Amino acid sequence: MAEPGNFNRAVLGGLLIRAEDADHCRCRLTPREHHLNSGGNIHGGITLGLMDSSLFAALYLLRGVPASLSVTIDLQAQFIGPGSGKLPLDCVTEVLRETRRMAFLRGLVVQEEALVGSFTATVRKASVTQ
């Protein structure tokens, strides 16, 4: 999904992505030192970036929607607990509904059994003519 030099590769690093079922996708971030805040936990900006990137991974992997020309319309995030810098951070994203131009998604950010965050989002899908 990520090409060298883009945000995903440069900031988040290589994400591991897999389909869980027909409507759910899991994106895994392996924390590195530059992902951590001064307290040794994963920085909220990294968690938010993972949430946003997971939208496009889910749409591409589960529905074949081209990620490069799609855009996030809104992303509402709730930070629920700290993300440890010592464990992988998983973002499980669900595609709730699609229309011709829009997709509605939600998800959870987890580390093992611990809930780190939740989110809902709307994505404007790439137009066929673009």
Q: Return the bridge partners of 91, or none.
A: 27, 109
Residues 15-55 pLDDT 10s: 999 999 999 999 999 999 999 999 999 999 999 999 999 99
Kindly give the residue spans of alpha helices, DSSP state H, lying in the chain. 7, 44-58
The sign of the torsion formed by the CA atoms of 19, 93, 60, 86 equals: negative
Q: Residue 80, by phi and psi: left (phi above 0), alpha (psi -120 to 50) or beta?
A: alpha
**Residue 98 structure tokens:** 């699609």
Q: What number of residues does the chain have? A: 130
Residue 92's pLDDT is what? Answer: 98
What's the mean pLDDT in 101-106?
98
pTM score of the predicted model: 0.91
What structural domains and CATH numbers belong to the chain? 7-124 (3.10.129.10)
Residue 4's pLDDT is what? Answer: 46
* Greatest Cα pair distance in the chain: 47
Euclidean distance between CA atoms 109 and 87, whole angstroms: 12
